[in-house]
Chains A and B, each alone.
Chain A
Amino acid sequence: MDAAAGRFTAMASPCEVLVDGADAAELRRVTRVVENEVRRIEQLWSRYRPDNVVHKINTAGGRAVTVDDETAQFLDYAAHLHEWSNGLFDVTSGVLRRAWKFDGSDRVPAQSQVDALLPLVGWGHVSWQSPVLKMPMGMEIDFGGIGKEYAVDRACALARHATSRPVLVNCGGDLACTGPRADGEPWQVGIDTGVPGAATPLVRLSQGGVATSGDANRFLLKDGVRYPHVLDPRNGWPVTGGPRAITVAAQTCTEAGVLSTVALLHGAGAEAFLEDNDADFSLTW
């Protein structure tokens, strides 16, 4: 893409904002709107901050926590996704990271380590009566799976109000646009799947969003088996045998993110899952 981009880094990703036809002042202005929104959501749901609702939930020690409206809506959505994906999508699976360090090494944990964590995983153990959440002690929630995609959609919607020009928001390959470019052409975005040597899917996006899930650089490699960082919350193990990256386009970046994430959890069945869901996708093997 040729248009000048506003850039910032948030949610551990390089983010860029393209405003077709805008001058420097308007680009800065729209970028600031986008950046503020992405940072707001990052602050709200980052699990690395000691001052937000996720920290409050994860340190509640079994007590009930009342959450804000936006978090409540997101938990409703997470509950729905858990059911819809037959338990594959689970905001409580982050605990498994204590056993799995996806640093490219061969340190695959012992089954006993994984088994010790499994009781702490599962949306089914959570009591959720909006806006009150109660989890057994030791459980954690993590919105990392689709928080970024949600932030991209939210920011893009605000950008739509901030300018009449077409806008594209891209945070580390999760992107959304307000519509086609000013000349009616789709945006062209090369998706960095993080897979070395693989062809870069070229997305031509006229509306909605795109998200990519993959093992990127986060994986374990042992005995020739690549363990991607996507963990099946039902058994605590990475799903192997699937594509290394899945790019999905949908009406929103969030929807695309859910489809790509859950598809990756289907391993070798990813393509069939995406076909079943009538998704618009590209696979990198």
Chain B
Amino acid sequence: MKDKRRHGNAALRAATLGLLGAAVVPAPASALETPGEQLAKKWEFDTGLLVYSESGGRVQAAEPVLKATRNFGDDRMLSFKLVLDTLTGASPNGATPASTPQTFTGPSGSGSYRANAGEMPLDDSFKDTRVSLSADYLFPVGENGKFGYGLTASKEFDFLSAGANARYSHDFNQGNTTLSAGLSYEADEISAVGGAPVPLALMPAAVSGEVENENEDEDEGGGPGAETKGVVDVIVGLTQVLDPNSLVQFNYSLSTSSGYHTDPYKVLSVVGADGEPLRYVYESRPDARTKHAVFARYKRYLFARDVFDLSYRYMTDDWKVQSSTIDSLYRWNFNSTNYVEPHLRWYQQSAADFYHAALYDGEETRVTEASADPRLGAFSGYTVGLKYGHTMQSGNSWSARLEYYQQTGKREGVPEEAAAGLSKFKLEPDLSAVMFTVGYRFKW
């Protein structure tokens, strides 16, 4: 073409625009690009900030995210992602409430935290910053295949993780059927503050100043050495286009991990028949876990405008945890540049077979595995949310999302001998949280 800075005949343009209407025409600029004048905007950036806030002064998190994607065309894509996570606040340490105030030593043995009478003990000593980085490259293989691989790394104060993954997808049936398979490996290193404690060993703490345990030597149970864990994930999937407006997707995933699964900062209360704590022991988890999960999704385009997305996930593992998730989204594109997206999610899980709300006096010597981590207990939760998104004339877009999560615990794993004594306490922490996310996407 001769010249890219041409503006044409104004009268003709005005008449044409009158015919076609303004909707047809984007912002005026050069129509044609010559090879030497390629647009410089090669990178797309997704930036976002998630603020997560649990009620009752529990965990507060701020998580800025930066993702950069370079699309080379030809279905080749390179992306980098950086996530910073700042966590503060308190989380349940696994101990049950007591009728008198309780004091716990912090992980390092130096600090301490306290729970008032009748209150769920919360460990407020943790403040952490997580940095995670990932890189990913996707490219076509042959006519119908795509191969992708990635590297991930994540670092916290007491945790280091590195991983690699590869995946392949193949289109069949003129792109209406896609089969995919992926494999990933992750190596974790946990360097517990003060060393990983010996499982089910006494926590060096005094209960309300009444019981003096000679537990100083229990400290030696944990050494400064780091614990490790390896995780292998395998996933296979099928995506089938049903008609021009809908598709279904099925995945099966297998996750096997071995190594240190215990949370070094979680304890269990050892209680007497009156339900009051006698002492605390560190939790102990199996050194392996195998999870199977199936996932099904139905996605439909509606009214030539909106998108409806419904999915179900079922997970079961050899810790006897079973969970179900139903997730639904409706994206209402109420005009070409704005959308509203309501979100509804429901989740339920059963408790792990070694979950105990507390241990009865002496039980700690008979069990080999025990945890009172509420995340391994039985509970259900739902999330409701609303997202609003807007695309600007420049093509850049932003969105804001507000979500509310409510979790309700189910009373389980209470030792029979102490059931009457513990009945006066609420043992399953309920949880509610508000999440607010803002995102901005632009090209550079």
Contacts and interface: CB of A to CB of B under 8 A. Distances in A.
Interface of A: 2, 4, 21, 23-29, 31-33, 73-74, 76-77, 80-81, 84, 150, 153-154, 156-157, 160-162, 164, 178-186, 201, 203-210, 247, 249-252, 254-255, 258-259, 277-282
B301 A29 contact: yes
A174 B25 CA distance: 16
Contact of A84 (B11, B38, B70): B11
Given A153-B20, A205-B33, A210-B32, 4 more contacts: A77-B16, A154-B24, A183-B44, A208-B26
Nearest to A6: B244
Interface in B288-304: 301, 304
Contact of B73 (A2, A258, A282): A2
B101 to A, nearest CB: 57
Contacts of A259: 8-9, 12
Interface residues of B, number: 60
Given A162-B304, A183-B73, A281-B2, A24 B176 contact: yes
B211 interface: no
A201 B32 CA distance: 12
A277 B19 contact: no
A216 B112 CA distance: 87
Interface string B10-24: 011101111111011
Contacts of A2: 73-75
Interface of B: 1-4, 6-9, 11-13, 15-21, 23-35, 38-42, 44, 70-75, 171, 174-176, 178, 241, 244-247, 301, 304-305, 336, 391, 395, 443
A210 B1 CA distance: 11
13 contacts: A25-B246, A27-B175, A74-B19, A153-B24, A157-B24, A161-B305, A206-B33, A251-B28, A252-B24, A255-B13, A259-B12, A279-B6, A280-B8
B41 A184 contact: yes
A181 B358 CA distance: 59
**Chain A at the B interface: SS class:** mixed
Contact of B38 (A74, A186, A209, A254): A186
A178 B27 CA distance: 11
Contact of A278 (B7, B40, B75): B7
A28 B241 CA distance: 10
* The 6 residue pairs across chains A and B that have the minimum distance between CB atoms: A24-B175, A184-B41, A183-B71, A28-B244, A204-B33, A186-B33
A279 B73 contact: no
A270 to B, nearest CB: 13
Nearest to B20: A153
Given A74-B19, A281-B1, A161 B336 contact: yes
Contact of A77 (B19, B26, B71, B72): B19
A252 B20 contact: yes
Given A84-B11, A252-B24, A254-B20, A278 B171 contact: no
A203 B1 contact: yes
B58 to A, nearest CB: 38
Given A28-B244, A278-B6, A258 B16 contact: yes
A186 B35 CA distance: 9
A206 B39 contact: yes
Contacts of A252: 16-17, 20, 24-25
B31 A251 contact: yes
B16 A255 contact: yes
Given A84-B15, A203-B1, A249-B31, A24 B171 contact: yes
Contacts of A84: 11-12, 15
Contact of A280 (B3, B42, B178, B305): B3
A251 B34 contact: no
Contacts of B18: 73, 76-77
Nearest to A178: B26
Nearest to B35: A204
Contact of A73 (B19, B35, B176): B19
Contacts of B15: 77, 80-81, 84
A186 B305 CA distance: 26
B26 A179 contact: yes
A160 B19 contact: no
Given A204-B35, A205-B32, A255-B13, A4 B175 contact: yes
A97 to B, nearest CB: 25
A80 B19 CA distance: 11
A119 B386 CA distance: 66
B245 A184 contact: no
A284 B18 CA distance: 31
Contact of B32 (A21, A179, A203, A255): A203
B31 A206 contact: yes
Nearest to B43: A184
Contacts of A258: 12, 16
Contacts of A182: 44, 71
B244 A282 contact: no
A2 B143 CA distance: 10
A255 B8 contact: yes
Contacts of A204: 1, 32-35
A25 B12 contact: no
A249 B8 CA distance: 10
Contact of B2 (A164, A180, A254, A282): A282
Contacts of A73: 18-19
A151 to B, nearest CB: 11
Contacts of A181: 71, 73
B8 A251 contact: yes
A278 B9 contact: yes
Contacts of A281: 1-2
B177 to A, nearest CB: 9
Given A29-B244, A80-B15, A208-B31, A156 B2 contact: no
Contacts of B3: 280
A91 B328 CA distance: 53
Given A25-B241, A25-B244, A280 B6 contact: yes
Contacts of A209: 31
A179 B247 contact: no
Q: Which of A4, A179, A180, A280 has the most CB of B within 10 A?
A: A280
A185 B70 CA distance: 11
A282 B25 CA distance: 22
A280 B2 contact: yes
A80 B30 CA distance: 25
A278 to B, nearest CB: 5
Contacts of A282: 1-2
